[in-house]
Structure 1
């Protein structure tokens, strides 16, 4: 087999890629992300058998409806997540809904591969004791990540933060070829729905108001003006006593006047 032809990511093409992903997904790529961009997009350039990064970007710009746009955005999306990440949020979520009698709705706006929305569902299932209906609306821009999330299958080492009793209640251990893996139990999965959503698109396919919204660790990829626009659109989707959960590196106090800090990276409507 002949050696793969070396590809060169010229500075001009890197800037064009940065501009495209910003305009279409709001993602800001700093200069130090150039190697990451090269590694992730070189596979797409070779898969399409185009001659260069320049030709690849030309194709995207000339074909707005090209299916390659989905691969392009998926390739440049980061999916760093885990079960019960930033664990201080989940007891607060459970406490907030203690004693509730009416339906609970939560939106996870950066669902990634599913660990966060399933963690939310597990928390609500325990807190509400099966007596109150609840729904977790899970969205993400990365369609590949969502496909994995819908499967609900994870390596056991990804579930290391869960106590054995909680693991048993919420997951089914695999056997045979699936040894070393576990699947989310149907009793948990039935409460979670997954769908694609781009936070900078003109229309969001979510309706009604939510009791809590999670935007954790997605806002860090946007500049302040994009963060502000997203927060302005989120505010009307929250119930008056709703909670907005941010990531540990995110602060909204100086981005939007619509929210006030309630606790550690947790906000309510101002």
Structure 2
């Protein structure tokens, strides 16, 4: 017989939802629409049970009083989706390989190519970019500084990314030469990214709505795909403006196919679906 603890249902009031929505938007830019109330309630059901919390008012107090940041990270993970895979939206990577890298290979005289993968999740996108750059520069790669920065707000996904271990089936669609060159079998149905390509990626925790970006130099390429779908227009426009400020002239911004930017205000020109270039 199931205990009452296992069958307890939680309801969230308009005031409680507004508290949570305001907190997460002000601090992390994530916009929770009114129609997300049911999603929030269902995804946090087990969290409240495990914490022994009876209502969302007490849960909000738990969030704001937890100085470790673990509670907020758990909340963000519950209300967002870390769905990514190698070569996702492959037309972007094709364009990156055939147009973007050749352009910068002759225009960046310092041989310091700066790439930022923002919202990198579990690392597949960042490693895809690293492998493409390794293959493109080939015998000249020792002459280039091409380490890329990959950031996310979640320590949980960053730990997976840093470890670089994935299910074998996750790389099944990659070219055979990539599977043989960049990965090593690490267990039953598991593979791990080889250290020498792993070392091409610097993973860091970073909040995209932080007031000050701490970078020393501007980037040539920024990938920020399927992140801004969680932001409302004002936050999104602010972030796009930041990206513009932190891109070199002629630099590229790649966003998700379900996302768009206001070209009239952003300082970007349209290149192809979900690809823009700084004017």
Normalising by structure 1, we get a TM-score of: 0.90
* Cα distance in 1, alignment partners of residues 266 and 85 from structure 2: 31
- Is 1:40 the counterpart of 2:43 in the alignment? yes
Report the Cα offset of residue 51 of structure 1: 2.5
* 1:37-186 equivalences in 2 (<5 Å): 37-61=40-64, 63=65, 65=67, 67=69, 68-95=71-98, 96-98=100-102, 99-100=105-106, 102-131=111-140, 132-174=144-186, 178-186=187-195
* Cα distance in 2, alignment partners of residues 134 and 152 from structure 1: 19
- Is 1:236 the counterpart of 2:238 in the alignment? no
**Equivalent of 2:11, from 9, 12, 15?**
9
Greater Cα offset, 29-38 or 144-153: 29-38
Normalising by structure 2, we get a TM-score of: 0.88
Greater percentage in helix? 2
Report the Cα offset of residue 76 of structure 1: 2.5
Unaligned runs of 5+ in 1: none
Aligned pair count reads 266
The answer to whether the 8 A contact 1:235-1:258 is kept is yes
Q: 1:153-212: CA deviations, max 9, x gaps? A: 1111211320222111111122xxx21111011121011011111111213343311110
Partner of 1:256: 265
The change in CA–CA distance for 1:255 and 1:29 in structure 2 (over 3 A counts) is: farther
The change in CA–CA distance for 1:240 and 1:37 in structure 2 (over 3 A counts) is: same
Report the Cα offset of residue 66 of structure 1: 5.1
The answer to whether the 8 A contact 1:253-1:261 is kept is no
Unaligned runs of 5+ in 2: none
- The root-mean-square deviation of aligned C-alpha atoms, in Å, is 2.0
* Cα distance in 1, alignment partners of residues 156 and 139 from structure 2: 31
The answer to whether the 8 A contact 2:240-2:266 is kept is no
Describe the SS at the equivalent of 2:90: coil
